[in-house]
Amino acid sequence: MAIAQRLHPVATNYVAARILAGLAVAWGLLLIPAAIAVPAYTPNSSAGTYNPQTQLITYPRITLFKEFGYPMLFVAAIPLVLAILIGLLIETSLRRGTVDPLLAAWVLSALLLIGGVIGLLTILIGVALVPVGVLLLAACGTVSKLEP
């Protein structure tokens, strides 16, 4: 029997799912001002500064917004948009008692987490995406049950 036929929303953990989805939305919301204010990017063209006292070379760090401009705000908003969408899918599944929105929430949450892990291995953006993916998968897990 396919998983979609055995997966059922469980209304008993509705509060936990809303809290977890809300935390994912809050984390996604924090990513936008972080892209503006947190110096987390080292430009490739920057030359390092040598400190003779520590014998270390330091490289300047700038914000993602300063380097990439307004398009970076749209990129930073992607986890927020996905968290809101997945939260709405979970709530729709619970209110209607249907499995299709819940299955879509599982798939989108897993894709977000996979993207975060890949981003963690290639560039630093995964550090910001992984918590959103984990929180959303936990929210999906609290409201779903596989029946034998």
> What pLDDT is attached to residue 45?
62
Give CA–CA dist 39/34, Å, rounded.
9
Q: Residue ranges per domain, the chain?
A: 18-146
Give CA–CA dist 93/9, Å, rounded.
7
> What pLDDT is attached to residue 8?
57
Give CA–CA dist 86/147, Å, rounded.
23
Give CA–CA dist 60/46, Å, rounded.
7
Express each pLDDT in 36-76 by its tens digit.
Answer: 998 877 777 656 676 677 766 777 777 888 888 898 888 88
Q: Are 12 and 128 in contact (CB under 8 A)?
A: no
* pLDDT, averaged in runs of 10, over the chain (148 residues): 54 78 95 88 68 72 83 89 95 85 94 90 79 94 66
Give CA–CA dist 5/64, Å, rounded.
44
The helix (run of H) or strand (run of E) holding residue 126 is: helix 126-143
pTM here is: 0.80
